[in-house]
Structure 1
């Protein structure tokens, strides 16, 4: 189990933030081109950085806690997954919070609000 524990954690992160897309209308997954353009520089830069630090001996990864699948330049699969999942979760959170704040402003100004956001607690 310890070999897939980190991947399971990344899956849980995606699962936990999925309601932000489905319930609060974050629209991150519904704009795949925009998502890809956002992720591409993050993945490229951090993977290159990680590969350089591994090659330099600055850090490494315990084979007991990783799948053992290495990408080119000796970067573990788990690192690539991390560089994709964490920005997606951040984007989902950012977009959902923006939607909620816009709904709160509309409620306060008396404008019409989408039904899914209308029933949020008043303290939000």
Structure 2
């Protein structure tokens, strides 16, 4: 069961933040913006991980990963981490931003909207 641990944590993160989609501005409904937000960090950190793995700087305990490896010997869970955690962050940020906006007076919301915030 331990080899499912990393993947289960990622799934739990998604399950716990998924309801925030209904509070926020609709992260899943704007896939191009989602891709634009996640892709830069994904590329940088995947390259960083691959270099660290190749250089022997770090490795992944086989007891806690499924054993499915991507090119460069990166566990699939590590790649998914770079997708899931930023997505959870976007969902959380969007929900908090929406809830805070609901508490502002209407004139402040209008001014913010006109300013592009």
Equivalents in 1 of 2:106, 2:20: separation in Å? 20
Equivalents in 1 of 2:18, 2:39: separation in Å? 21
Structure 2 length normalisation: TM-score? Answer: 0.86
Equivalents in 1 of 2:5, 2:27: separation in Å? 26
Structure 1 residue runs of 5 or longer lacking an equivalent are 112-124
Give the superposition deviation at 1:26. Answer: 3.4
Note the aligned Cα RMSD (angstroms).
Answer: 1.8
Give the conservation status (yes or no) of the 8 Å contact 1:69–1:77: yes
Structure 2 residue runs of 5 or longer lacking an equivalent are 111-117
Give the conservation status (yes or no) of the 8 Å contact 2:24–2:96: no
Bigger RCO (CA 8 Å, 6+ sep): 2
Count matched residues: 109
Partner of 1:99: 98
Three-state SS of the structure 2 residue aligned to 1:4 is helix
Equivalents in 2 of 1:9, 1:71: separation in Å? 19
Over 6 Å off, 4+ runs:
none
Give the superposition deviation at 1:39. Answer: 1.4
Structure 1 length normalisation: TM-score? Answer: 0.81
